[in-house]
Amino acid sequence: MRQDTSPNLSRRVRSLLALAFLVSLPMLVYGSETTDACVDFERTIKSTYDFRPALLSDSERNKKSAAMDKVWTAVKSRQIELLPCLRKALADPQANNWFGFDGSNLLVSLDPSRSSKVEQLRNYSNVNLDDVDLRLWVSTLSQLGAEGFDVSGPGERWLSSSNATYFLPEHGALQVDKFLGAIFIFGSMDETQATPALLRIAGLADHPGREIALSLLLMQATPEAIRGLKSIDQSKLAPRAQAILRDHLDRPQLVTKRESPKTSREQFLKAFTAFVSGDRMPFATLVSQVPDGERDVVAVLKPEDLPLVRKVRRLMIANANQHAAEYYVDFTKIIATLISQP
């Protein structure tokens, strides 16, 4: 093929090459600045998060708290530049576990995407529970569970912990013990995720959370949980635990139907659907009008309504407080009643 050596073509080629260089120059400069920023950021992270909170004195903890605040302020003020650096630092397998906990909270506060929450869940699973605010740890996991994440891994860590307890000061200093905290975590999960995990724990004779897992399986009120409970070897359970398990399997706690319901199926479905969508007022109105409305629920709802009822229960328990636990018990009785009907 004949080469075109005309001056016009040569000028066009030079112009295109120059344009390409000019276009790439900002990218090269930005990439270099970003890399330098990440190097500096990672250096700051390593010098700041070189400790475990549980091992510090009060004065040391205050000093480190101020240093961590500076990290948060820097990332918040330079998000475009430093968020990728934060993600990179969190993904480092050698990262300090406390940084993973604190840094993933920072990440989700600025970018509440699913990928950020996956990173948060991973780091919540790894952090030493002696270092964290257990209330924050449990309530965050409960919210993640209600959003569809499988939080059974950290849930089992909670059941295995020797110091799984904290208090809710706004609820009369209510103590959240291992059992109640486990309800918050496992109860917020979809039953298809929680039931298999609880059955595995309940099947381990030497697991410290075995009896709690058995109780939670009873509260799951799923056919899979009931079948699994009936097949578990109970020989190593305490006699009292065996008796309670048999009693609940043979005679589950049910709700007595009201012969003339005060609330219709349509009203319940409307309120439950609104609840799932984030509007809790219709449900609160029904509760205020008919405080024992569970007697109407079991009288008017149909089997096809069960998935919606279960979802409402999961969203309620994700609030991780005393009132959420009370509603969880009520809805558990409703579900047990509905699945026991022909």
| Per-residue pLDDT reduced to its tens digit, 127-159 | 999 999 999 999 999 999 999 999 999 999 999
Determine the pLDDT at residue 244: 83
Determine the pLDDT at residue 294: 97
Res 50 pLDDT > 70: yes
Burial 35-51 (b: 16+ CB within 10 A, else e): eebbeebbebbeebbeb
pLDDT band of residue 12 (cuts 50, 70, 90) is low
Which residues, 6+ apart, have CB-to-CB distance to 267 below 8 Å?
A: 286
Res 270 pLDDT > 90: yes
Average pLDDT in the 26-38 region? 54
Res 28 pLDDT > 70: no
167 three-state secondary structure: strand
Average pLDDT in the 77-87 region? 96
φ and ψ of 74, to 5 deg: -65, -45
Q: Mean pLDDT for the chain?
A: 90
Determine the pLDDT at residue 233: 85
Nearest Cα to 75, choosing from 124, 133, 24, 116?
116
Kind plus residue range of the DSSP H or E element containing 176: strand 174-176
2 vs 9: CA distance, rounded Å: 14
Average pLDDT in the 233-250 region? 84
Nearest Cα to 154, choosing from 228, 97, 89?
97
Determine the pLDDT at residue 319: 96
Determine the pLDDT at residue 273: 98
**178 in Cβ contact with 212 (< 8 Å):** yes
146 vs 135: CA distance, rounded Å: 17
Determine the pLDDT at residue 1: 45
pLDDT tens figures, 88-116: 999 999 999 999 999 999 999 999 999 99
Domain residue extents for the chain: 38-131, 133-251, 265-340
Q: In percent, how much of the chain has pLDDT > 70? A: 89
pLDDT tens figures, 158-205: 999 998 999 998 867 889 999 999 999 999 999 999 999 999 999 999
Average pLDDT in the 256-275 region? 97
29-43, 222-236, 279-293, 302-316: lowest mean pLDDT where? 29-43
- pTM to 2 decimals? 0.86
Taking the CA atoms of 62, 64, 66 and 68 in sequence, report the sign of the dihedral they define: negative
Average pLDDT in the 316-335 region? 95
Residues paired with residue 176 on neighbouring β-strands, in sequence order: 166
Average pLDDT in the 76-90 region? 97
Distances (CA, A) of 201 to 131, 152, 190, 232: 25, 10, 17, 11
Determine the pLDDT at residue 173: 82
Distances (CA, A) of 12 to 6, 227, 269: 10, 77, 69
Rg (CA), the chain: 27
Task: Give the pair of three-digit tokens for residue 273.
Answer: 């659907």
**245 in Cβ contact with 237 (< 8 Å):** yes
Determine the pLDDT at residue 16: 46
6-10, 154-158, 275-279, 338-342: lowest mean pLDDT where? 6-10
Average pLDDT in the 308-319 region? 98
Neighbours of 179 (CB within 10 A): 15
Average pLDDT in the 37-44 region? 93
Question: What is the residue whose two structure tokens read 């930005």?
Answer: 30
Q: In percent, how much of the chain has pLDDT > 90? A: 78
Determine the pLDDT at residue 250: 84
